[in-house]
Amino acid sequence: DTGVSQDPRHKITKRGQNVTFRCDPISEHNRLYWYRQTLGQGPEFLTYFQNEAQLEKSRLLSDRFSAERPKGSFSTLEIQRTEQGDSAMYLCASSLGGGAEAFFGQGTRLTVV
């Protein structure tokens, strides 16, 4: 296994468009997390899944943001009607249950123009 994989690595989109990012966790990891990182800041927690269940989503930034993990494997993060303020690095991480460290992917850098 090569670690957490995110696709695409970079995305440039026009304001108002919808975007979707994909994350493939480490195969045996049942927990998957999404974070957002803006310039000069540390990552900010958005949501997490245990298997296919989304257990915490209160930190999703608005109702324009949604995440899924339909079969408990890969996950997608969708942003509808993008705004310039959505420009950031979106990081995915996975872990083997609670009490274990999270391994991060390389991130998807979103630029909204």
Partner 1 sequence: AQSVTQPDIHITVSEGASLELRCNYSYGATPYLFWYVQSPGQGLQLLLKYFSGDTLVQGIKGFEAEFKRSQSSFNLRKPSVHWSDAAEYFCAVGHPSGTYKYIFGTGTRLKVLA
DSSP state of 110: E
Range 11-30, binding partner 1 (CB under 8 A): none
Q: Cβ(112)–Cβ(84) under 8 Å?
A: yes
Question: How far apart (Å, rounded) are the C-alpha atoms in residues 98 and 30?
Answer: 9
Q: Cβ(14)–Cβ(113) under 8 Å?
A: yes
Write down the least CB distance from residue 102 to partner 1, Å.
7
Write down the least CB distance from residue 64 to partner 1, Å.
21
Q: How many residues bind partner 1 (CB under 8 A)?
A: 31
Select 89 or 112, whichever has its Cβ closest to partner 1: 89
What is the Cα 78 distance to its own chain's centre?
Answer: 9
Neighbours of 18 (CB within 10 A): 11
Write down the least CB distance from residue 48 to partner 1, Å.
5
Residue in 13, 20, 45, 52 binding partner 1, rule: CB under 8 A: 45
Question: How far apart (Å, rounded) are the C-alpha atoms in residues 23 and 108?
Answer: 9
Range 54-113, binding partner 1 (CB under 8 A): 55-56, 59, 91, 93, 95, 97-107, 109
The residues that touch partner 1, with contacts defined as CB under 8 A, are: 4, 6, 31, 33, 35, 40-45, 48, 50, 55-56, 59, 91, 93, 95, 97-107, 109
